[in-house]
Chains A and B, each alone.
Chain A
Amino acid sequence: MALVKTVDTELGLIEQAQQGDRNAFGELVRRHYESVVHVVYRMCGEVQLAEDAAQEAFLRAWINLPSFEPRANLRNWLYRIAVNAALDVLRRKSETFVEDEETLMVSDQMPGPEETLIRKEQVELLQRALRNLPEASRSVLVLREYGELSYQEIASVLDIPIGTVMSRLNYARNRLREVLQSHAQEMENAHA
């Protein structure tokens, strides 16, 4: 019942926003900002870039909102816009892009036994590797791991066949797996 009410309210907000109601759009932004900015952060790897991309995504959403079908899934539509906005922001900044060490660092709140340190290192390594993946594979992986979309939803968001979703995901995860394997090999060699 509560779910139905939420959906109805969101539908009402979308319809009001389509008529140009800025307050209704503001409420939609507040509701979806977190999930959108998290996804674009995983695409960009930097807080400032992610917030720029999120801002651009919501501006594009505002402009294109009249063409949005109110009963469709707004979050998935926003993801589609956000992924494209993130890629555009990255392309624009690519020449001056310097990795933000602060954001690449894994939280220091994790305490320090050796295993935990290794895990922190692996997490950091994978985040770097994620940002080095080709755009197409990265988009699919980010939408799966951080957007938590099904294959069908990813196919719909990126407008690609479901078979392509599977092959890009296979490529991306296998690439990251290789990175982890080679890192483990290096560690072994260093200890030997």
Chain B
Amino acid sequence: MHEDMRALLNAYLDGELHGWRLLEVQNHLTSCESCRNELRELRAVSDLLRAAPLPEFTPAERFAANLALRLPRRPLKAQLQRGPSLTWWLAPLALMGLWFFVQTLIWLTTVLSLALSGGLLGESFSWISGSAAQSNLFAFLMNLFGGHLGTATQSTLSLLDRLVLFGNSLINQWFWQAIVALLYWLWMAVWWLRTRGRAFLPRLARA
């Protein structure tokens, strides 16, 4: 107990103890003369250290002027950072370009599909749409069982297949856009962390 308290005397002297630990040391000091003496001696050491006078130094103005003569023209790391920063700023531009490309592709596909289904393009582009709006899996199942599937089963399979086709189409349309958007937000988050966020993170971690 006594040794534990002795180890805390410096922290007590420096005002670094709080709460129950502070009370514990204060209570111990009222009853322990040895610790009171030690605290007094530690305080004397601290006072004597701080009482040591300082000599004359070069004035700040002259020191700064002398230092300016020795400074390299620019911080070396700033020069190194200039290269990557261009690449860094190209990232959102590239993502926007990718998004524009995906949008154009989807738009063209939709227009072509509508034109095909409306018969506006005749037979010249029939290779694009295929012969039927059925998935490979559905065609495989039908071939496997020949024509032996019941009508109800065929209808259910057909409905499921259409749902799968709808899902695929949805994924094709939205998947790439979602990826691009996600990458863009990721870039924004990293940018924020690099510029302002790092100052707040330690505070959040301490909170």
Q: Which residues of A contact B (CB under 8 A)?
A: 18-20, 22, 25-26, 29-30, 33-34, 37-38, 41, 47, 50-51, 54-55, 58-59, 62-67, 69-72, 102-103, 106-107, 109, 119, 122-124, 126-127, 130, 141, 144-146, 150-151, 166, 169-170, 173-174, 176-177, 180-181
Contact = CB atoms under 8 A, between A and B. Distances in A.
B50 A37 contact: no
B55 A119 contact: no
Given A126-B45, A126-B48, A18 B75 contact: yes
Contacts of B10: 166, 169-170, 173
Interface of B: 7, 10-11, 14, 16, 38, 41-42, 44-46, 48-58, 60-61, 63-68, 70-78, 81, 196, 198-199
Contact of B11 (A33, A69, A151): A151
A54 to B, nearest CB: 7
Contacts of B46: 145, 173
A126 B42 CA distance: 12
A106 B61 contact: no
A145 B50 contact: yes
A103 B52 CA distance: 10
12 contacts: A29-B60, A30-B64, A33-B63, A50-B57, A64-B75, A66-B77, A66-B78, A70-B199, A141-B49, A146-B49, A166-B7, A180-B45
Nearest to B199: A71
Given A72-B199, A170-B7, A170-B10, A123 B48 contact: yes
Nearest to A148: B50
A105 B61 CA distance: 27
B64 A180 contact: no
Contact of A59 (B44, B64, B70): B70
